[in-house]
Amino acid sequence: MGHVTMERATFAAGCFWGVEANFRKVPGVIATAVGYTGGNFENPTYSDVCTGKTGHAEAVDILFDSAVVSYEQLLEVFWKIHDPTTLNRQGLDIGTQYRSVIFYHNEEQRAAAIASKERMQKSGKFKQPIVTEIVPASTFYRAEDYHQQYFEKGGMGGCMLH
């Protein structure tokens, strides 16, 4: 076995179905799971989170091979697939569960996320300030099975795909 290059990344960028579908296309992404994180109570259900009162964000947990895809490249995908300037909202989905968040797993990810956010802000790509939060990863609660790889199961509706 060579050097282990498996790392975790966790992002929230609106409805998790579309976010997961986008990251699953990225070469080097080994596995993804949708779930809830960043909130203040244990084992929330989808209906709990949908109230917007639990504090959790709909997020995607990504296992990736950093020899194939860098964390920076994943950040680029993250910025591309949602609007990081709308507070607690993506399109028609409104609520704190849809907030834009980068949950970092280590100091390198934190530094990369901050640098990436500053670059995006200066790039002029977005007219408004970026409101994305950059916070330490906390417990990730896997969503109910029917949410996993939702679009691959032929699920439609709910979230908008970009």
* Structural domain spans, the chain: 6-153
Asked if the model's pLDDT at residue 156 lies above 60, the reply is no
Other beta carbons within 10 angstroms of residue 87's beta carbon come to 14
Question: What is the three-class DSSP state of 29?
Answer: strand
Marked catalytic residue, from 9, 12, 13, 15: 15
Would you call 15 a catalytic residue per the annotation? yes
pLDDT at 50 (0 to 100) = 87
- Predicted confidence band at 51 (pLDDT cuts at 50, 70, 90)? confident
Cross-strand partners of 93 = 90
Asked if the model's pLDDT at residue 161 lies above 70, the reply is no
- Predicted confidence band at 41 (pLDDT cuts at 50, 70, 90)? confident
* CATH architecture group of domain 6-153: 2-Layer Sandwich (3.30)
Angle between helices 71-80 and 16-24 (to 10 degrees): 130
| Residues 11-35: tens digit of each pLDDT | 999 989 999 999 999 999 999 999 9
